Each structure stands twice: as C-alpha cells, then as structure tokens.
C-alpha cells in the first residue's frame, strides 16, 4: 500500500483502508491532527480515521450543530414573541358567520 504523507493527499487519494490522524474537537468535529497541533487545538482525543469514518463524524457534528442552532432560534422566537391583535384584513376570514 502506498503511504499517504499529507492531509490533502489523504482526502484526494486515500484508499478505503488507509487512515489519517485527527483530533476530535469538543463538538465531535474531526480536525486534521497536524492542523490542530499548529493551531493549539489538540483536545486529547486523537483518533486515526478512514475517509468513511471522517465523513461520518463530520456529518454527525454538522447535524448536531444545525439542530442546536435551530433549537436556539426557536427558543429565541418564543422568548421574543409578542402577542398582537390580528390585523383587520384577517378579521373577515376568522369571523363566525353562524353557519355550521
């Protein structure tokens, strides 16, 4: 098996059984180990991942982050909502005409 010597090479030509070292961030996002080391973002959770494992962890972290942002947005709307009267142009649509 040919040896992979860079993250870019791993991403572009990595074989299914080849792995690369990653630092798993607090939110579950895998970050290239050497990039994490340079940026002082090592978390103590290092793993060698295949391309498939990398993609799965990255997708899971993105999905979790998106769901949390949606929940935060919904909570913000609930906190900031103001009860207002319906504008007059809706009144006709919701008036009880006595027919059932």
Tokens at residue 73, please?
A: 């947005």
pLDDT given for residue 99 in this prediction: 61
The pLDDT tens digits of the residues spanning 26-76 come to 999 999 999 999 999 999 999 999 999 999 999 999 999 999 999 888 887
The pLDDT tens digits of the residues spanning 75-100 come to 877 666 555 565 666 556 666 656 65
Buried b (16+ CB within 10 A) or exposed e, 68-98: eeeeeeeeeeeeeeeeeeeeeeeeeeeeeee
Ranges of each domain in the chain: 7-81
């Amino acid at each position: 098996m040919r040896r992979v010597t860079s993250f870019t090479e791993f991403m572009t030509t990595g074989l299914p059984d080849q792995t690369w070292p990653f630092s798993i961030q607090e939110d579950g996002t895998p970050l290239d180990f050497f990039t994490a080391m340079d940026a002082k973002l090592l978390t103590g959770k290092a793993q060698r991942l295949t391309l498939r494992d990398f993609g799965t962890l990255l997708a899971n972290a993105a999905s979790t982050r998106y769901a949390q942002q949606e929940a935060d947005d919904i909570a913000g709307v609930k906190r900031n909502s103001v009860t207002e009267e319906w504008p007059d142009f809706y009144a006709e649509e919701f008036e009880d005409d006595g027919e059932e």
